[in-house]
Structure 1
C-alpha cells in the first residue's frame, strides 16, 4: 500500500463537519492501493488460458488407434462392416495400454473410440453400429469406461478421439427435398455422442476431432462414392461447432477440444517434428509471432508404419532411438508429442512395442533424467526489482517450481544467464522453459560452454535458436539424431538471450 496525503481546505472540511475541525487540522490520511505492488511483468498477448496451460504440461502422451479397422486390416473402413467383425480374441485391456505408455514416461493418453467408419467402442444410444451388437469378447465392450478408470488408477491424463465424419450414418451429409443439409446428424448422432463421452469423467484433458470429411474412400452413407457423392461444405455450421464447444466446455472445464476448439493446432505433419522456430500461436510447424490467438502445437505421429495394427503391412515399430529423436523435435521444440501405440486383435499392445517403450523410457532417464543445473551456481547480468510479494531472482531458474521465475527489468530485451560449477561437468543438452502464463517472448538466443570458466565456445551449431516457448531442448552437439557419448566438459554454461518481444521471463533452466 502507498500512503497519499491529500490537502483539504479548512472551508470544505468545516462544511462537511461544522464545528469539529480547526485550521490546524487541514490534512487527512488516505490509503490507496498500488496497481502493481509486486512489480509483476506486463503480459505479452496472446496468453494461454488455464486449461491450455494444463494441456501443455502434459507434454508427451499416447494415441491408441483401436477399433473396427483392427479386425479388417484397413486404415480407413467403409462404415458398412458388420458389428460382429469387431471380435477381440480376449477382453481388451486399456489398463495395459496406459501401463505401456507410462513405461515411456508419457503423462496420459487419447483412445480412439470412433473412427471414420462410425463404429463406436461403447454401447451408445445413438446408433446400432456399436459394441452392443458385437459378439464374444466384443459384446458390450465399453472402452471409454475401462480407459478412464485405468487413467485415474495410474494418475494419468486421458481423453477420447471421436470422428465427426461418419460413413455408417444415413444422416451424415443428408439433404432435404430442397437440397439443403439437414441438422439430423448433428442433433441425433454427433452431439449426443460427444455428450455421452463427456460423462465418462469431467477430468478429461483433451477431446480429439479429426478434420477428415471423405476422399476417394468407397464406403457407406457418409462417403464420396460415385453413387452417393455426399459431402459437406461448412464443417463449422454442419457440426454446430459453437454449440459443441460451449456444451462440452460446460461439462469438461479443463478439456482442450482439438480440431474444433481453436485452442491447439495441428503442427502440420504426422512425422513427429515441429519447426525449430515454433510460436504458440498461428498455424502449422512454425506458428506466427504476430497471430492474435494462443494455439500451441500438437504433433501426432506413429510408432509403427500405420495408425491401426496390421501384422501383414503395418506392424513395423520404430526404434527407441528414432522415437527419442522425435521427442527432441516435438517436446524439445515447443510442441506436445502424441505418439500412437496401436493395440492388436487381443486388445493389447504387442510385446515388441512394449519393449521399445521400455527402452525409450530408459533413454529419457539416461539422457534427460539427471539435471546438473540443480547443483550449479546461477547468476544473471540483470534481474527485475523485487517488490511486495514479487520475487524474480535467478535462483528461481533451478528450484523446480513452475510457478516461480526469473525476470529481466522492463525495457530489457536481452540478458545473460550463467550456470557454473566448481569442477567441470559433462554436458550434452540444455533445456529452457519460458513463463508462458505471461506470454511467449524469446526471439533469439545462444548457448556457450567453458571448460575453464574463462574461454567460451558456442554450442548447438546447426540448431536454429530462435523461439523457446513452453520448452526448448538444445542438443549441444547440434544434432537430434546423433547422441554425443563424450559430451562437453564445462565449468560454465552461458545462455544469452539476444532478443525478445519484451523483458524475458524463464521459470526453468536444466542442464543434462
Structure 2
C-alpha cells in the first residue's frame, strides 16, 4: 500500500496519462474476467476415449473407505434358489432366471415342479412384496457394521428395476408398479445418507430378455417365448434403455458409486460406455464425487474405467496391483439369497475379518455382499456377521480406514499371519492369531525410536532391537484382557517421520 500527496493543479498531459492508465486497468480487468469465466464454460477435460477417461483421478473417499456393503436383492429373491456347486459362480442364486428357469433340465426338475410349467420368471414379480423392508433399520445395521459405503443392485440381469424408471421399454417391470409399488432405491439411498454413508448402485448393462449371447446354444439366456414377448430391438436397446437408465439413476439419485456389470457380451462402443463416462465426469451433478468400476465392455476389466474389480478372489484379488481395486464376495457362495445353502457354505466372522485385513493390506477394498429375503428382511446369520465385523472395526478401524499398503510388509517370505497397513507416521501390524513369539516389524528401523501399542488395550508393549530392526515382544494377556476377537493390531508410531 502506498499514499500519494494531493496536487492542486493538473496538466493536460497528466490528465491524458490518467485516462490511459484507467483504460489500461479496465482492459486488464476485462481480460482477467474473461479468463475466469471462459474455462468454466469451455472446459471439457474428458473426451469419450479411454486414453482421456483413464487419466481421471480416483476420488479419495473411495481409497479411504476400505469397507462397503453390497446388496443383491430383487425378483430373484422370491425363488431364492440355485443348486450349490463347487465350481466358481455356479451357486449364484441371482442367476435363477438364466440358470434355473432358462436351463431346460433345472426348469423341469425344480421350477416346473414347484411353480408349474406355465409360471414364467416375470410371474415372480408380484410376489416380491418386501412387506417388512425398513430402510432405516438396514442403514443402522450397515453403520453398525463399520461400512463406509453401500451398493444396491438397482437392476440385475433380469431387467427388473428397483426404482420407478421412465425408460420406455420398462414401464411394466419396475418396483413402482410390480411387487412393492415403492421406490426401493430412493428409500434406501435416503436412509443410508442419513447415517453418513456413501450410496452407490450396481447396474447391469445386459438383460437376459434382450441380449443375445454366444454362451448359450439357443443364442439367448431365456426361453424363446420370453425373448419374443419382451425383447428390446438392438437398435433401441442402448439409447432407450441402458443409457437412458444410467443417466436417470445419476440425475435422480446422484450416487457416489456406479458398479457396472453384464458387459461381457458386447464391446464398450456398443454400450456407448466412453460416451456415458465422459458425460458423467464432465456434466453430471455428482461428477466430482462419483467413482465407477471397470466393467464397461468386453476387455475392459482391469484395463479401463475407474477402480478394478474381482469377485470371490477370481483374479487372485489383484495381488501387487497399484491401481485402486475392490474385491466383492458374498458371505456364502452366492450374492443373492440362496435357500439351498447351509451353514457350512457360509464364512465365519473370523474368516470375513481376515479377508478384510488381507485385502486392505494389499491396497484393496472389500465390498461384502448380503442377500436379503423377498420380504425385505436380512437373514439373521448375515446380520450377526455384520455386527461381529463392526465390533472388530470399532476397536481396530484406524488400522483399516484411510490406510495404504505398507510395501515392506508385503516382502516375499513375510509371515502369512502378519499383515501391514500404514497411515502418516503410523505402521499397523495386523495379526490373525495371537503371536506367541517376538516378531520383526518389517520396514521400521529401531533407530526411528517408535512407540508400540496394542489397539484396544492399555497393557504396555515392549520391543528390542535385532540387527537394527524392531523386534516386538507380545504381552502376556489373560482372556479378560484380550481387546477383541478374530485378529489383533499392534500400532507402531514412528517419531522420525
Do these two structures clear the TM 0.5 threshold for a shared fold by scoring above it? Answer: yes
Match of 2:192 in 1: 151
Match of 1:265 in 2: 308
* C-alpha separation in 1, matches of 2:63 and 2:362: 12
1:183 counterpart = 2:222:
no
Q: Which runs of 4+ in 1 moved over 6 A?
A: 170-174, 492-496
Aligned position for 1:298? 326
Secondary structure, aligned partner of 2:372 = coil
Structure 1 contact 299–335 (Cα < 8 Å) conserved: yes
- Contact 2:58–2:306 under 8 Å retained in 1: no
2:495 and 2:328 mapped to 1: Cα distance?
Answer: 31
Number of positions where the alignment pairs a residue of Structure 1 with one of Structure 2:
326
Counting only pairs closer than 5 Å after superposition, residues 5-404 of structure 1 correspond to structure 2 as 49-73=56-80, 74-78=93-97, 80-82=121-123, 84-126=125-167, 127=170, 128-135=172-179, 138=180, 140-169=181-210, 182-202=234-254, 204-211=255-262, 213=264, 232=265, 234-249=266-281, 250-251=283-284, 252-253=286-287, 254-258=289-293, 259-260=295-296, 262-267=305-310, 269-271=311-313, 284-287=318-321, 295-313=323-341, 316-368=345-397, 397=425
Please tell me whether the aligned partners of residues 109 and 158 of structure 1 are also in contact (alpha carbons under 8 angstroms).
Answer: yes
Choose between structure 1 and 2: higher strand proportion. 1
Inter-partner Cα distance in structure 2 for 1:459 and 1:301: 36
Bigger drift between 182-191 and 253-262 goes to: 253-262
TM-score, length-scaled by structure 2 = 0.57
Give, in whole Å, the separation in 1 of the partners of 2:444 and 2:130: 60
8 Å Cα contact 1:83/1:134 also seen in 2: no
- Change in Cα spacing, 1:110 to 1:262, as seen in structure 2 (3 Å) is same
Contact 1:83 1:130 in 2 (8 A): no
Task: Tell me what 1:470 maps to.
Answer: none
Within 1, Cα distance between the matches of 2:360 and 2:314? Answer: 10
1:54 to 1:183, Cα distance in 2 relative to 1, 3 A: farther
Which structure shows the bigger proportion of residues in helix conformation?
2
Change (3 A) 1:482 1:182: closer
Change (3 A) 1:458 1:158: same
- Asked whether the equivalents of residues 84 and 133 of structure 1 are also in contact (C-alpha less than 8 Å), the reply is no
CA contact (8 A) 1:95 1:150 kept: yes
**Cα separation, 1, equivalents of 2:61 and 2:399:** 24
What is the DSSP-based 3-state SS (H/G/I as helix, E as strand, rest coil) of the residue aligned with 2:355?
A: helix
Q: Which residue of 2 aligns with 1:3?
A: none
**Whole-Å separation in 1 of the counterparts to 2:487 and 2:444:** 29
- Match of 1:158, SS state, is strand
Cα deviations across residues 382-407 of structure 1 (Å, max 9, x unaligned)? xxxxxxxxxxxxx96269xxxxxxxx
| C-alpha distance in 2 between matches for 1:425 and 1:152 | 34
- 5+ residue gaps, structure 1: 1-45, 175-180, 214-231, 276-283, 289-294, 372-394, 400-413, 430-448, 461-480, 497-505, 507-512
Distance 1:396 1:493, change over 3 A: closer
Q: 1:359 to 1:482 in 2, by over 3 A?
A: closer
**How far is 1:122 from its partner?**
1.6
Unaligned runs of at least 5 residues, structure 2: 1-52, 81-92, 99-120, 214-218, 221-232, 297-303, 401-422, 428-442, 473-484
The offset of 1:453, in angstroms, is 5.9
